[in-house]
């Protein structure tokens, strides 16, 4: 297979991979972030201490993390059909991708938020701040570099999962690798796809590291305390 033959196929498959990973990342961020914060707030000593709720949410997250992605793909077929109307294609693959990534990212969020200095929480509370103010002004801003790092790790995992989903009809680069690289013995095509996946993962990691470093400089504790005093 020549490069002219490969190029349109690679273009379409890459777009499908971007769509899968992009939508799954957005859903993961919207649901995984509050879920991780909830795990911290409801834990022992948390601002919303509620052990039963914490245990239930933690158990759901643990179950979600323990399921291998291939099993999740199959187990969620009825739910996937209900959500997008089909069980094949990149649209269908987006559903298990998001469902699998939400608990994964929630645990990363939990670890990042727990690492915030408790003195900042006390500072916000001493100024009359509500729980929402603590989350918005102390926990999330100070944990932001770690949250970005966790999201970077999640996106990289999603790229790998998307390739796995492609092997069972999920579209994207994984489907292309199986259809042409494996079934048609196009070894050169397989090599090109692997190289592209490596490049994608490397670019995501570099971008995540860059954003994390810049946010780390902006989120210094002293600067946060100064902002709290100005807004008190």
Higher-pLDDT residue of 14, 232:
14
Domain that holds residue 132: 3-231
- Please give the Cα distance from 46 to 127 (Å, whole number): 18
Give the pLDDT mean for 210-230: 62
Helices (H) and strands (E) in the chain, counts: 11, 0
Longest dimension (CA), the chain: 68
Q: Where are the beta strands (DSSP E) in 23-162?
A: none
**Confidence class for position 149, pLDDT limits 50, 70, 90:** very high
Q: How far is CA 87 from CA 63, 84, 93, 157, 218, in A?
A: 23, 8, 8, 21, 44
Q: Domain with 117 in it: what CATH number?
A: 1.10.3720.10
Q: What is the pTM of this model?
A: 0.87
Residue 232: the pLDDT is: 47
- Long-range contacts of range 215-219, CB-CB < 8 Å, 24 or more positions apart? 215/144, 215/145, 215/148, 216/145, 219/141, 219/142, 219/144, 219/145
What's the number of domains the chain is made of? 1
Give the pLDDT mean for 89-94: 89
């Amino acid at each position: 297979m020549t490069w002219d033959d490969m190029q349109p196929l690679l273009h379409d498959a890459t777009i499908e991979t971007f769509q899968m990973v992009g939508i799954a990342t957005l859903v993961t961020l919207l649901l995984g972030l509050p879920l991780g914060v909830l795990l911290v707030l409801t834990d022992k000593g948390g601002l919303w201490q509620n052990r039963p709720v914490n245990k239930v949410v933690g158990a759901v997250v643990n179950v979600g993390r323990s399921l291998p992605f291939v099993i999740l793909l199959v187990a969620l077929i009825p739910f996937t059909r209900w959500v997008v109307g089909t069980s094949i294609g990149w649209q269908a693959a987006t559903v298990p991708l998001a469902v699998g990534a939400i608990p994964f990212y929630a645990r990363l969020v939990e670890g990042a938020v727990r690492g915030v200095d408790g003195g900042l929480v006390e500072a916000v509370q001493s100024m009359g701040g509500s729980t929402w103010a603590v989350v918005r002004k102390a926990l999330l801003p100070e944990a932001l570099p770690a949250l970005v790092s966790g999201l970077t790790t999640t996106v990289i995992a999603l790229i790998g999962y998307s390739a796995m989903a492609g092997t069972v009809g999920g579209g994207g680069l994984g489907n292309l690798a199986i259809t042409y690289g494996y079934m048609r013995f196009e070894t050169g095509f397989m090599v090109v796809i692997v190289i592209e996946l490596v490049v994608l993962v490397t670019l995501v990691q570099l971008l995540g590291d860059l954003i994390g470093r810049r946010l780390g400089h902006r989120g210094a504790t002293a600067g946060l305390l100064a902002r709290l005093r100005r807004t008190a």
